[in-house]
Structure 1
């Protein structure tokens, strides 16, 4: 069968990966298998034991946990500040609320961890976003509203850049995403896009899985030899191209010899692909994985341990030797009598049998193994202090060492920030392109409400997209809370200003609490205002006893005025005599 033009571009991408030194696909597979503990996969050793001291998994797991110690946050900020318009939230607030909802549906915290594992092990992580018309975001509540943005992680081995020497998504002539799917699903999709019947019939199962990641990616369920059976899988490619005339992204999907759909205008202004490297490499879009540089050290440690174990297995127990001229056999059975003959003359019982002393193993072997493990972790920034494998006597020193050991993570953290912001830019583009008029769930004064919004407005707006991810946002948030606490204790802030600045997740039902405090303060101010108003002279005179009232009536006018002024003061008690 003749290949499509897009498939030829895919084959060119594969040839590029195979030309990299070392081979890209072999490196990715080896890294994945070593991380999973399959570290003797290509070593043929029949007699040696095969121990695995998986330093790779320990270090990578620690790094990922350090980078994702808190939730990922994405903020869209408008060019200028916007307030409520006619009591309705601003477009920026609506866009932020919708992105927060999508992040929850994507389970973004888990997606970030999976992406970081992909980047640390294989060097690359890729987010692919698309608009799925089969989804109903509000279920049966709003039947007319269809379609929602979907998110998937794609292996770096399944992504091909048109300009492989540029790791930036922007400016690429095309981007290809490959994958494998069931033949039945691909045929149904081709029918929905009204492909030619000949193209539909060309969709057949194949065995083009050699470039899939890990050894498990090259093992699939065997096809059943049944007429009409479509349980097999086929390789497909999705290619995104920038149409320079329209300024939008066009997409095609195909198998090797036919198209499922071709040259559809997505309406998007940028590629729906977010790309991240663990460590960027010069003049190529693939990153260098943290795992790659650890493999030689891991192999050395495992081999040395294997030889130490083999030595102990062979020499830990002493070998018995005996004089075959005097004995016919040897037995270690308890209580067993051993016949001996020919002990006359120079032969004695001491010359019959004995034990060979085992050879001593050099202590340098164990020292070399320990140094290899220690230096490997030190060079990566995962020291014992950072991992918590120390006696906590000097806590200040431990904290200082842990902070300094986190410095190697600053570059991956910056790459993660950029990746999250790229996803935010894609979401903003997709919402303005596909959503149209639809309701959005908003939190207004502590109450969840549905707000109608025309997302087409976002096409004419510009927002700055800022990401807060991982450990740094967590500790900066804690520091901000501590500063607010000190300002409140020093009475530089009132309680309302304090609550307005505290993140919502720290105080449940924060808006309701603010409303109750404001209502209580208003009541107290009203009572104080009422108390500060001067009382009516008649009411003051009625507070006096009958004798005091009679004396007040008989007093001269200037004395009466003096008595009334004293009664109006808080200290005024009774009539001065």
Structure 2
């Protein structure tokens, strides 16, 4: 089928996807889940008879899930299948390049809001692209940048499939300032007519109503597969921002994470959706419980209105007028029956059951008394077991963006200088590497997440000490190179002195051998 790059055709695809999202209730569900996570749990309700209280069980569970998933470190290792001398050099260069690209893009830091969005909304995405303006510390500019995309702003060509790389096309919707978009139109070499056609969205646009924006326009980034890579174009509803251009990518530069997969849908399901009725019941019961306590907890004065025509007063020292004999005045204190203890017990049980059904037990939340440490650890491990499925999905997501990083490096990096360690233990060397040679190559990509890549400076030093004591390490240079810099003051000077001493020893031995001959 021939592709139509006109703004009207792309906007029609966008509207078709929005209709699908409305049919599954995605917009309302995301808005409601976000409100309950943030604590806005009484919005739209006019309550006059009681004080609206909020006991946010959902946010504590979400924060626990996110912290458990991002507590592990992520390490990426890529190496060619042929590990000869050139392959080992390429592997060392890629290791350093991956580390610097991950640090510069901030993709690890974006993992926290991504997991929060996926847990609250059901799914979330990363969009990875090459930014030619980023500083790299050398003459060549440009590096990989990562952006977080909400589930409501990504459109799948096949909404029944959640696998990104199997999509016929993808559309990313972005809200941007009109002046910024006009500037991009002129930078892309388009005429003044196209720039003037960029106008703010109409009142019918749901995003404008949602955010109250007046000078913003929806820009659609359309991407599709071609014979030689992936083709990109940008449009608004009525104008073209960037004409279609093709880049030699092997993958769509988009990664998608579902918290709970839904069969036959590209969007996942949030654990908050099913727990919101429980949260509403907890808030209502707590509010009614507190209101009842305020009404019946304190005794009330009951008096005979025929004896006290001017009413009763509790003011200190104030005279109270009455009719008849004061000794026969009828004024007594009355205390209503206490509220049933079952209400408070039910509330606590509902809060505990809701958290446990979501996957957060008292041991995981840290609210249990540490009487038996072994039992607590066992309960925590059992609590984390249901989250293993989501953790495996997050690891798969991490491997996907690592492969995209490698794809973008081969397409955009070109020839760059990389500082790599010397195989013989010498000083690190500056080497030039042509990253375009990576384009189209199949790499053995290994993504280590969790304990396999967890790096502790103290643990590394202890391990080196054990290896030295057991005789596995006999060279002091090897030992010092593996010790963290901050633990040995003047480490580099000491390494230099040891290397000079070793060189002098070699020269002395060589001279001695010549004298003997």
Question: How high is the TM-score relative to the length of structure 2?
Answer: 0.87
Instruction: Please state whether the residue corresponding to 1:327 is helix, strand or coil.
Output: coil
**For the Cα contact (< 8 Å) 1:208–1:234, is it kept in 2?**
no
Cα distance, 1:492 vs. partner?
Answer: 5.5
For residues 38-117 of structure 1, what are the structure 2 equivalents within 5 Å? 38-83=40-85, 90-117=89-116
Cα distance, 1:253 vs. partner?
Answer: 0.6
Q: Distance in 2 between matches of 1:388 and 1:483?
A: 32
Cα distance, 1:306 vs. partner?
Answer: 0.6
Which residue matches 1:37?
A: 39
Residue of 262, 272, 288 corresponding to 1:307: 288
Which residue matches 2:219?
A: 236
Q: Distance in 2 between matches of 1:493 and 1:146?
A: 41
Q: Could you tell which deviates more after superposition, 163-172 or 515-524?
A: 515-524
Change (3 A) 1:415 1:468: same
Q: Distance in 1 between matches of 2:77 and 2:297?
A: 64
**For the Cα contact (< 8 Å) 1:199–1:259, is it kept in 2?**
yes
Instruction: Please state whether the residue corresponding to 1:474 is helix, strand or coil.
Output: coil
Q: Distance in 2 between matches of 1:72 and 1:111?
A: 13
**For the Cα contact (< 8 Å) 1:318–1:356, is it kept in 2?**
yes
**For the Cα contact (< 8 Å) 2:79–2:94, is it kept in 1?**
no
Larger Rg: 1
**For the Cα contact (< 8 Å) 2:250–2:440, is it kept in 1?**
no
Which residue matches 1:181?
A: 176
**For the Cα contact (< 8 Å) 2:464–2:479, is it kept in 1?**
no
**For the Cα contact (< 8 Å) 1:167–1:286, is it kept in 2?**
yes
Q: Could you tell which deviates more after superposition, 254-263 or 348-357?
A: 348-357
Q: Could you tell which deviates more after superposition, 372-381 or 485-494?
A: 485-494
Instruction: Please state whether the residue corresponding to 2:166 is helix, strand or coil.
Output: coil
Please provide the CA RMSD for this pair.
Answer: 3.4
**For the Cα contact (< 8 Å) 1:124–1:287, is it kept in 2?**
yes
**For the Cα contact (< 8 Å) 2:303–2:332, is it kept in 1?**
yes
Q: Deviations over 1:139-194 (max 9, x none)?
A: xx52xx24322211111110111111111111100011001100001111111112
Q: Distance in 2 between matches of 1:505 and 1:26?
A: 53
Which residue matches 2:435?
A: 455
Which residue matches 2:384?
A: 406
Which residue matches 1:465?
A: 445
Residue of 397, 405, 420 corresponding to 2:398: 420
Which residue matches 1:19?
A: 23
Cα distance, 1:521 vs. partner?
Answer: 8.4
For residues 94-493 of structure 1, what are the structure 2 equivalents within 5 Å? 94-138=93-137, 142=139, 145-207=140-202, 211-212=206-207, 218-220=210-212, 223=214, 232-243=215-226, 246-328=227-309, 329-343=311-325, 349=327, 351-444=329-422, 449-470=429-450, 473-474=453-454, 489-491=469-471
Cα distance, 1:109 vs. partner?
Answer: 2.8
Structure 1, unaligned stretches of length 5 or more?
224-231, 529-577
Q: Distance in 1 between matches of 2:257 and 2:103?
A: 21
Which residue matches 2:512?
A: none
Cα distance, 1:520 vs. partner?
Answer: 7.4
Q: Distance in 2 between matches of 1:373 and 1:501?
A: 53
Q: Deviations over 1:228-283 (max 9, x none)?
A: xxxx111111011111xx24100111111121113211221210101111122211
Q: Distance in 1 between matches of 2:302 and 2:452?
A: 67
Change (3 A) 1:92 1:208: farther
Q: Distance in 2 between matches of 1:402 and 1:418?
A: 24
Q: Distance in 1 between matches of 2:330 and 2:475?
A: 96
Structure 2, unaligned stretches of length 5 or more?
1-5, 510-517
**For the Cα contact (< 8 Å) 1:381–1:406, is it kept in 2?**
yes
**For the Cα contact (< 8 Å) 2:221–2:232, is it kept in 1?**
yes
Q: Distance in 1 between matches of 2:35 and 2:126?
A: 23
- Count matched residues: 504
Q: Could you tell which deviates more after superposition, 278-287 or 475-484?
A: 475-484
Instruction: Please state whether the residue corresponding to 2:409 is helix, strand or coil.
Output: helix
